[in-house]
Amino acid sequence: MFGNLGDMSKMFEGMQENAKKLQAELESKVFKVKSGGGLVEITINGKSEVTDINIDDSLLGDKESLQILLIGAINDANKMVEDNRQNSALGMLGGMNPFGGN
């Protein structure tokens, strides 16, 4: 009854190792998002850390527009990172979605 525990343990260790590799790969990715037709550009890494922001000089006198575009760009960048994580995790599971759906 317990003869397969060793095999299961090896399989689990392999899954853990694959998960660590996937995490490192995800964290090393870089995403760029533009907002306002390119007036604001955010660079974010796979850990959801903003690493660079470029703001067009024309926005420097319009604080409200700048804030709106920054919020939009940061939210879009974080969504890109999260979508990438989910797609990579589903790919690791062989495309099977354990949460149901199509």
pLDDT in tens, 42-79: 999 988 899 999 999 999 999 999 999 999 999 999 99
CB 56 within 8 A of CB 69: no
Please report the pLDDT score of residue 98 as a whole number: 52
Does the pTM surpass 0.75? The reply is no
N residues, the chain: 102
Residues 86-102 have a mean pLDDT of 64
| DSSP annotation of 16 | H
Provide the strand spans (E) within 7-91: 30-35, 40-45, 50-55
What are the structural domains of the chain?
31-96 (3.30.1310.10)
Provide the percentage of residues in the chain whose pLDDT is more than 90.
46
